[in-house]
Amino acid sequence: MTSRSGVDRLILAEMFINEAKTEIENYRTTGNEVSYRQACEKGWGAIAQAIMHVGQHDIYHHKEFSQVASKLKEKGMIDIIDALAAGDRMHSAGFYHGILSEETVANAIELIDAAIRQIKKL
């Protein structure tokens, strides 16, 4: 599915997850708080774009993200609920409050990356 800007949402998801990986690595080496928060927000953006790709429309409410994720789980994507929860946690607890550990953020990024790879195979 393409976004309003004409960019494929799955491509956006991949771009965001790659940026999240770069940002968390930058945070690991520099301790730059901006990189930490960007890693969190890019991780959330990645899973959000991937789920909108599957839903084939813009999603504006977190409840609807959960509904699409539940449908994916029914199709065998057993970790999709966890990936969405990890992205949401990075968005709220990481980006806004900065309270997640670096390890938690890195693990969330890997979980979201795996979900995106599964979605690509659909």
pTM score, whole prediction: 0.92
Closest Cα to residue 78, out of 50, 110, 32, 115? 115
Could you give the domains of the chain? 9-120 (1.20.120.330)
* Average pLDDT value for residue range 35-57: 96
100 pLDDT tier (thresholds 50, 70, 90) = very high
Q: What percent of the chain has pLDDT over 70?
A: 94
